[in-house]
Amino acid sequence: MDSALIVFTKNALLGKVKTRLAKTVGDKNALLIYNELLKFTKTLILKVKTKKLIFYSDFVDTNDIFNAVVFEKYCQKGNDLGERMLNAFKVTFKLGYERAILIGSDCNELTPEVLEHAIRALDENDLVIGPAKDGGYYLIGMKKLHPKLFVYKNWSTPTVFKEAIFEAKELNFKYYLLPVLSDIDNEQDLGNLSKLITTDLNQNND
C-alpha cells in the first residue's frame, strides 16, 4: 500500500468531546454520540484499501475499538490543530507512504467511495480537499508535505476552507475538491443521530 489514511480522534472522555454539542444536549449525550461516530468511522475506514493510522488527541488508547493489529496508533503533537495535522503528515510520509489523506471522526456523511476518490485524485493533483458546510474541511490530502497549509490559520472558524484554497493558489497547486459534506458540531447537525439522545435536552448532564 502506497497510501495512508490518517484519522484524527479525540479520546472518548466525558466532558472532553463534542463540547459545542454538549452545550445543548449535555456531556453524557455528547459522549454517547461521539462513541457512535467512532463506530461509524471504524466501519467506514475498514472498507477502504489503504493503511490506517489513528492519531489520538491526548494519549494512545490501547483498549478501544481500534484494534492495534489493523490500525497503527499515534498521539497528536502540536499547540494547535494545524501543527497537529502537520506533524501527523510528517510521521506518515516519514513511514514511506506516497499519498496521505486526513479526516476527523465526526462526519457521518462520509462514504468509502469519497475516501477512495480522494486517494485516486492525488494521482493527478497536488492537493485534495473535502469542504464542510460550516466553512472548514472534513478531509485534506497530499502526496508531499506542504507546511504552509497548516500555519497561521484561523482554525475552527468559517474561513478555514477559503484560507486553504487561497494558500493552494498562492503555491500554484493543482487541487481537487470533493463534495461538500456536513460535520457534526451542534444539535442541528445531528440528523438520525438525534435518536441516541436519551435525556431531556434542557437537562444539565454534567
DSSP, residue by residue, 159-182: THHHHHHHHHHHTT--EEEPPPB-
Q: What is the mean pLDDT of the chain?
A: 90
Q: Which CATH architecture has domain 3-186?
A: Alpha-Beta Complex (3.90)
Phi, psi of 3 (to 5 degrees): -120, 155
What whole-number percentage of the chain has pLDDT above 90?
Answer: 75
**What does the alpha-carbon distance between residue 196 and residue 206 come to, in Å, rounded to a whole number?**
17
CB count, 10 Å around CB of 5?
27
Specify the pLDDT at position 202: 45
What are the cell numbers at 173? Answer: 497547486
**Which range, 46-55, 148-157, 179-188, has the best average confidence (pLDDT)?**
46-55
pLDDT beyond 90 at 91: yes
**What does the alpha-carbon distance between residue 6 and residue 43 come to, in Å, rounded to a whole number?**
15
Domain locations in the chain as residue ranges: 3-186
Task: Find how far residue 97's CA is from the centre of its chain.
Answer: 19
The DSSP letter of residue 179 is P
Spatial neighbors of 62 by CB under 8 A, at least 6 apart, are 68, 73
What are the cell numbers at 134? Answer: 460550516
pLDDT digits (tens, 9 = 90+) for 4-57: 999 999 999 999 998 888 888 899 998 999 999 999 999 999 999 999 999 999
Rounded to two decimals, what is the model's pTM? 0.91
**What does the alpha-carbon distance between residue 46 and residue 125 come to, in Å, rounded to a whole number?**
25
